[in-house]
Amino acid sequence: MNLYDNFSKIYKKDYLKFSKNIADIFPFLIKNYIEKCDSILDLACGEGTFCRELTKKGFNVEGVDLSKGQIDNAKKKSFEENLNIKFYVQDIIKFKIDKKYDIITSWFDSLNYIIDKNNLKKVFENAYYMLNDDGVFMFDMNTIHGLITVWNDLPYYIFEDTKDLFEVHQSNYDYENNLAYMKISFFLRQGNNQWQKYEEEHVEKGYKKIEIKDLLTSVGFNEIYFYSSLNPLLPDLEESNRMYVVAIK
């Protein structure tokens, strides 16, 4: 079973706000980098919020994710909203098809989950291959500073406590290898007096800005921009919790 197959049962609410916020500013954001956008691919699309929101705005969007549970949710929600979106269940490290896109995206620190630098390079290579000339690759990542301050400074906390769900996060940071660990334990109510327990461990790798830039350059991207915020667009800061990256083919 994939990491997110259990997590897909509770992947909602606060987890979806990020994707919705990005989708809201996306039509205005891309005008800075591309004249016309006819096709978008979202890597690690999860349950498809970003794809659905952009489709509602008139974009042609496809999504890919390793988790069958997440893709099942994405298809179900798209069907319920009468949206025609193509989704793939595949590992983004290996995902490479003979189809070209104007923009490829990956949001909500999905690429931090790729903890091997060579595998991250493969994702960048595949994105470059699937982009049209002058196409744009956009993504965000937690910075090392962000993983230390956000994950490590809150080693234990109750994320949600409702009548049907109790969710607890425990986290720590490996400074030597720049790896952040988060154990998520959640209990879902199954009946009046029954609860089902699930546990997952999430691991994210913190990368330096220069590492990301070097990897993108090595696969062929020639214009690379780093930001600490997309709304408004702000230059990257040394102590930003998140980096937003725009790379142009």
Q: What is the tens place of the pLDDT at every residue in 151-160?
A: 776 677 677 7
Both tokens assigned to 54: 């952009």
pLDDT tens figures, 83-117 = 999 999 999 999 999 999 999 999 999 999 999 99
Q: Is the pLDDT score of 12 beyond 80?
A: no
Element housing 72 (H / E): helix 68-80
Residues 70, 16: Cα–Cα separation, whole Å? 13
Sheet containing 179-189: give its strands across: 156-161, 165-174, 179-189, 195-205
DSSP 142-168: E-HHHIIIIIIT-SEEEEEE-SSEEEE
Q: According to CATH, where is 2.20.25.110 located in the chain? A: 146-205
Q: Which fold has domain 146-205?
A: N-terminal domain of TfIIb (2.20.25)
Average pLDDT estimate for 38-49:
96
Looking at the chain, the domain(s) classified CATH 3.40.50.150 span 3-142+207-248
H or E stretch covering 85: none
> Which of 30-34, 89-93, 146-150, 195-199 shows the lowest mean pLDDT across its residues?
195-199
| 207 burial level (CB within 10 Å; 0-12, 13-18, 19+) | buried
Angle between helices 117-130 and 209-219 (to 10 degrees): 50
Question: What is the pairing mode between strands 156-161 and 165-174?
Answer: antiparallel
Query: 241: burial class by Cβ within 10 Å (0-12, 13-18, 19+)?
Result: middle
Question: pLDDT of 181-237, one tens digit each?
Answer: 999 888 888 877 888 888 888 999 999 999 999 999 999 999 999 999 999 999 988
Distance of alpha carbon 215 from alpha carbon 51, whole angstroms = 27
What tokens appear for 95 in the block?
Answer: 């995902």
Q: What's the chain's Rg over C-alpha atoms?
A: 18
Does the domain spanning 3-142+207-248 belong to CATH 2.40.50.140? no
Count of residues in the chain: 249
Better-predicted residue by pLDDT, 161 or 112: 112
28: amino acid identity, one letter: F
Contacts of residue 162, defined as CB under 8 A and 6 or more positions apart, other chains included, come to none
Kindly report the pTM of this predicted structure: 0.91
What's the confidence (pLDDT) of residue 36?
95
**Could you tell me which residues are beta bridge partners of residue 64?**
43, 88
Give how far Cα 146 sits from Cα of 2, 159, 238, Å: 26, 18, 10
Q: What is the pLDDT of residue 1?
A: 47
Q: What is the mean pLDDT of residues 39-54?
A: 97
Instruction: Please report which confidence band the pLDDT of residue 14 belongs to, taking 50, 70 and 90 as the band edges.
Output: low
